[in-house]
Chain A
Amino acid sequence: MSVVVIGLSHRSSPVELRERFAFAGETIPHALAALRENLATEAVILSTCNRVEIYAVTTLAPDTAFAELKKFLVTHHAYDGALGDELYSFAEPHSLHHLFKVASGLDSMVIGETEIFGQLKAAYELAFTHKHTGARLNKTFQRAFNVAKHIRTETNIQRGSVSVMSAAVELAEKIFSSLAEHEVLVIGAGETSEKTARALLSRGARGVVVTNRSPERATALAAELGGRAVPFEQWPDEFAKIDIAISSTAATEHILNRATLEPLMKRRKHRPLLLIDIAVPRDIEPAVSELDNVYLYNVDDLQSIAADYLKLRQEEVARCEQIIGEKVAALLAANRYSATDSHR
């Protein structure tokens, strides 16, 4: 008996194909039951927007198991197209290696992301609750979760912000002791500024003030974010109260320049001010960063931080692979020992 895996992911197939093979949450218990009827003794189905995978423990030879699992997938989803390299399959030890990589976020679109860990855990718990797992998969999945946690603490694979929004939040936390004491001003109700404001609020920012050329849009966004709206002409007055400003207007010229900000900084008693300019063309004159206690970041700066972090994560992959290799070897040795022991 060994653990095998068959599936397709963002690496092997386009979204059009992945969505054809996706399992709806409520259908998974039935699919697992069908799998266990004549194919596998234990099974877990992982279905996310980026991957669909079946982990199974089977007595069949790997090649036979892969053919049967492929047939199951095609039949279950009534797929009548051609399938080639889009579908991958692994037998032990590669199946274990793959599972550990998936759990650690090494096989994710954004390397090191943690969402997959929760999704994998939910998939396993669903199978466990419906009694579709046994000793083999329980041990394998528990080990996968432990390896993912170990990698998270021992390496930098999950370190840092890999999106513009999270980079902005991290920056704010490098400047301010606690976001709970600071209000955010959103100038121009664009999508990225809204997401950035949401990210700051989720990290405890005290409140949000929204201003937009269209007052209706400002009021709507302020209501959505639980903040207040101010007329576009009055946003400079808010500078005495706020500490973070996110700007993303469609203005063709700078809406904030050094000459305007200098007296405002005096009114702020030179408290630190984080300016995030995600507009193109830029809303804020670069010269404002020469002012003391003003920290200006534009969209390129934030993207550059995200890219640097991603590069750092990629550099950590080799270390993670080494850890996974060791852990897979240890699990296989433990399985061999258990098998020998049970034969005595």
Chain B
Amino acid sequence: MAWFTDRHCFLLAVTFYGLSTIYSVFLWRKGFRRDDWVNYFLIAAGVVLHTLAMTKRGLTLHSCPVNNLYEATTFLLWALGLASLVYSLLPRFKFLAAFTAPVLFTVGVFALMPSLDPPRGPKPEFSGALRSLHAATSLQAYGAFGLAAVAAGMFLMQRHDLKAHKLRAMLSLLPSIQRLELITFRLVAVGFVLLTIGLAAGSQLPRHEGKPYLSDSKVIWSALLWLVYLESLVAYKLFGRTSRRFALGAIIAFAVLLLTFWVTNIYSPLHNQ
């Protein structure tokens, strides 16, 4: 079984995410009327294989597998997939998997590009408990932001259908919009706390060739991201930002996060050792 690497395992996981995406299209077309576990189990199968892939890689490296773009991306997706499984157990949240599956699948396919996972020496340069904490909490934060964006998408869809008096809003088995709004807020708040811990842990790491942290693209990007989410939370909680704007903000911020994550990583000497 030596030929069966962690990447094969991840490929299988992405296949399950793909099947879930296809199934989600049917659920969407039917207006989320029938509540079933098919999608949940497809994502669960994907997450099990995904966990296996990460465990295999972690055992090979003897550290948390977050040392290159492939590993960072798979870690992010794993956090998103796992959180989606947990939240799907809440009443009327089973359809969360249907909204998460397309993100897991598309980003998963992207992560499988060989250039993101270059061959390395026997021992990674990137190691140590503090670095693992920094990487793991930051990526879990991105996972929480991802799930918040998914919940925000569900919120906006339900809101639109209710405003437009569409029967789909009544027939669907999605949660109430007030509940979706609360979940979106909580996920953004959890992500923000995790990102804060991740950045705080990162600030204690040794500097690259004595350069200040704020000259690194990834650090600047992370600080901006932290500020964006802080502004969003403060505006929503203290200055009466409407739920629609908050939800839109959660989706846009995560879309920007996904689109710029790899670019800033590539141009970051600190994260591209």
Chain A residues engaging chain B, CB cutoff 8 angstroms? 156, 159-161, 167, 170-171, 173-177, 266, 269-270, 272, 289, 292-293, 295, 297, 301, 304-305, 308-309, 312
Minimal Cβ-Cβ distance residue in B for A270: B242
1/0 contact string of B150-186 vs chain A (CB within 8 Å): 0000000010001101010111000111110010000
Contact yes or no, A292 B244, CB < 8 A: yes
Contact yes or no, B240 A266, CB < 8 A: yes
Number of A-B contacts (CB under 8 A): 55
Contact yes or no, A270 B243, CB < 8 A: yes
**A295 vs B178: C-alpha distance in the bound complex, in angstroms?**
12
User: When A and B form their complex, which 6 residue pairs have the shortest distance between CB atoms, in order from nearest?
Assistant: A292-B242, A177-B179, A308-B167, A177-B178, A270-B242, A301-B165
**A293 vs B176: C-alpha distance in the bound complex, in angstroms?**
13
Q: Which residues of A contact B167 (CB under 8 A)?
A: 305, 308-309
Q: How far is the CB of A158 from chain B (nearest CB, A)?
A: 13
Chain B, interface SS category: helix
Known A292-B244, A293-B242: A176·B165 in contact at CB below 8 Å: no
Q: List 13 A-B contacts (CB under 8 A).
A: A171-B170, A174-B162, A174-B170, A175-B176, A177-B179, A270-B243, A272-B243, A292-B244, A293-B244, A295-B163, A297-B165, A308-B167, A309-B167
Q: Which residues of A contact B177 (CB under 8 A)?
A: 174-175, 272
Contact yes or no, B176 A176, CB < 8 A: yes
Question: A160-B171, A175-B178 known; 17 other A-B pairs, CB under 8 Å?
Answer: A167-B170, A174-B158, A174-B177, A176-B176, A176-B178, A177-B176, A177-B182, A270-B240, A272-B243, A292-B245, A293-B242, A293-B243, A295-B162, A295-B163, A301-B165, A305-B170, A309-B167
Q: Which residues of B contact A309 (CB under 8 A)?
A: 167, 170
**A312 vs B33: C-alpha distance in the bound complex, in angstroms?**
12
Q: Which residues of A contact B171 (CB under 8 A)?
A: 159-160, 312
Contact yes or no, A175 B240, CB < 8 A: no
1/0 contact string of B238-252 vs chain A (CB within 8 Å): 001011110000000
Minimal Cβ-Cβ distance residue in B for A289: B163
- Which of A156, A160, A269 has a CB less than 8 Å from the CB of B170? A160
Minimal Cβ-Cβ distance residue in A for B243: A293
Minimal Cβ-Cβ distance residue in A for B158: A174
**A308 vs B171: C-alpha distance in the bound complex, in angstroms?**
10
